[in-house]
Amino acid sequence: MGRRLFKELERSYGFDEVAIVPGQVTINPELTSTKMTIGDQEFDIPIMASAMDGAVSPGFASYMHEMGGLGVLNAEGLYSRYDDPYSVLEEIISYPLEGVTEFLQKVYSEPIREDLIGQRVREIKNSGATCAVSFTPQNTKRMSPVAVEAGADIVVVQSTVTTARHMSNSYRGLVFSELIDALKVPVVVGNCVTYEVATELMESGIDGILVGVGPGAACTTREVVGVGVPQVTATLQCAAAREDYFKRTGRYVTVITDGGFRTGGDVCKAIVSGADAVMLGTPFAQAEEAPGRGFNWGMANPHPELPRGTRISVGTKGTLKQILYGPTSKTDGTQNFVGALKVAMGMCGAYTIRDLHKAEMVVAPAIKTEGKFFQLSR
């Protein structure tokens, strides 16, 4: 061995493999601020809910706003395909596990209706909430103006992998700079995982990038097609791109780590990795207010020929308020994400999210291998 390899492989890391190192100064958590911005929009907490039909309905987007965060509505989901999406949700939830993938494939073959996109945006705006809607690249140019006209504040363009240059015979490539000129609202694009793609996307003028390919709980892309980069390494790369782009241009683009989160600790690690915000699906699908009522499924799931993921039972863990702010009696980190973030900021002496970017992190063995012996007998 040792002679010649076709290519070199570098090590990458996920949340379970790292730990944050406490700082040299500590501060009381109540002194910390968790504010975050996307373009001209400011939010009290750097936490977003994913555009998954089981997690974010128009109503849930309003609840997220009340809590200080942002819920993104999937503009190509059930809410834009059915006058009464709630009865379809009911059917999905009660469908037997055996056969549910086929049923999802069928339900999502109903066409998207532009009138319904407008209607859902207005429902969110009428509640007083900031409205963010997500589209796939192939539908963005045609459908996103409808949403913005109805009042949408942020447009998210999202597919499994997004680059500034996509080749297709079936639709003319989306040019992000043209989109930004046309829409005049902040545009967030994703998902990407490398320094180069993040840089190219930022150079197109967008306001935020979504980071993450393959890591989500309701997604099996990495198993099915082998493609993906663990979230810590993906975020470390895209954050490096943001820093370099900021030094070069003075424009600060929001880096949002999307998917793969299980605990508040994971949220803290994403931010120490350089994220400005995080986007979670399953933890919000576990809220009592979530439309999926304890079930969740990904956007790639209903793919007619190569489904990646299926309907998963995630259970209901508490109210949205408890999940975000506690108080909680759960001790496994799956509730009080904001409390956990503020405690971590305190431990690292970080007054702001960007201060927390300066904390150190180490590669550490997965938590199960150390000192947890006795809990087995719990």
In whole angstroms, the minimum distance from the beta carbon of 348 to its own copies comes to 7
Q: CA distances (Å), 31 to each of 36, 223, 358, in order?
A: 16, 43, 17
Among 94, 168, 177, 249, binds its own copies (CB under 8 A): 168
Token pair listed for 310: 């299926």
Token pair listed for 107: 């339900």
Using CA atoms, how far apart are residues 293 and 222, in angstroms rounded to an integer? 27
SS3 of residue 283 by DSSP: helix
- Residue 219 among the catalytic residues: yes
Using CA atoms, how far apart are residues 155 and 125, in angstroms rounded to an integer? 14
**Positions 209 through 238 that interact with its own copies (CB under 8 A):** 213-218, 220, 222-233, 235-237
Span of 46-54, 127-135, 180-188, 208-216 interacting with its own copies by CB under 8 A? 208-216
**Active site residue: 219, 238, 268, 348, which one?**
219
Among residues 40 and 332, whose Cβ is nearest to its own copies? Answer: 332
Span of 39-47, 88-96, 115-123, 253-261 interacting with its own copies by CB under 8 A? 253-261
What sign does the CA torsion over 116, 295, 137, 111 have?
Answer: negative
Neighbours of 111 (CB within 10 A): 7
Among 70, 256, 314, 320, binds its own copies (CB under 8 A): 314
Among residues 31 and 182, whose Cβ is nearest to its own copies? Answer: 31
Span of 51-59, 87-95, 156-164, 179-187 interacting with its own copies by CB under 8 A? 156-164
Among 195, 204, 293, 316, binds its own copies (CB under 8 A): 195
Instruction: Spell out, one character per residue from 334 to 353, where the chain touches its own copies: x when CB under 8 A holds, - when not.
Output: --x--xxx-xx--xxx----
Span of 44-52, 111-119, 142-150, 164-172 interacting with its own copies by CB under 8 A? 164-172
**117 Cβ contact list (under 8 Å, min separation 6):** 75, 80, 133, 143, 146, 147, 150
**Positions 99 through 128 that interact with its own copies (CB under 8 A):** 99, 101-102, 105
In whole angstroms, the minimum distance from the beta carbon of 315 to its own copies comes to 6
Instruction: Establish if 161 lies at the interface with its own copies (CB under 8 A).
Output: yes
Instruction: Establish if 260 lies at the interface with its own copies (CB under 8 A).
Output: yes
Instruction: Establish if 93 lies at the interface with its own copies (CB under 8 A).
Output: no
Burial readout 78-99 (b: 16 or more C-beta within 10 A, e: otherwise)? bbbbbeebeebbeebbebeeee
* Total residues in contact with its own copies, by rule CB under 8 A: 142
Q: At which residue do the structure tokens 């890391």 appear?
A: 13
Among residues 11 and 184, whose Cβ is nearest to its own copies? Answer: 11
**365 Cβ contact list (under 8 Å, min separation 6):** 17
Instruction: Establish if 264 lies at the interface with its own copies (CB under 8 A).
Output: yes
Instruction: Establish if 243 lies at the interface with its own copies (CB under 8 A).
Output: yes
32: left (phi over 0), alpha (psi -120 to 50) or beta: beta
- In 3D space, the residue among 98, 277, 256, 288 whose CA is nearest the CA of residue 189 turns out to be 256
Instruction: Return the active site residues.
Output: 219
